[in-house]
Structure 1
Amino acid sequence: MLVVSAEIWPGGDESRAWLVGEIIASNESALSPVSSYAVSISQALAPAIGIEGWERELTVQDHHRRDGVWALVAAIVEQALNPRSSDDCPTDQEGSVNGDG
Structure 2
Amino acid sequence: PVLPVYLKDLGLKGSDLGMLVAAFALSQMIISPFGGTLADKLGKKLIICIGLVFFAVSEFMFAAGQSFTILIISRVLGGFSAGMVMPGVTGMIADISP
**TM-score, shorter chain, exceeding 0.5:** no
Larger proportion of helix? 2
Structure 1 length-normalised TM: 0.30
The structure carrying a bigger strand percent of its residues is 1
TM-score (norm 2): 0.30
Indicate the structure whose relative CO is greater, using CA pairs within 8 Å and at least 6 residues apart. 2
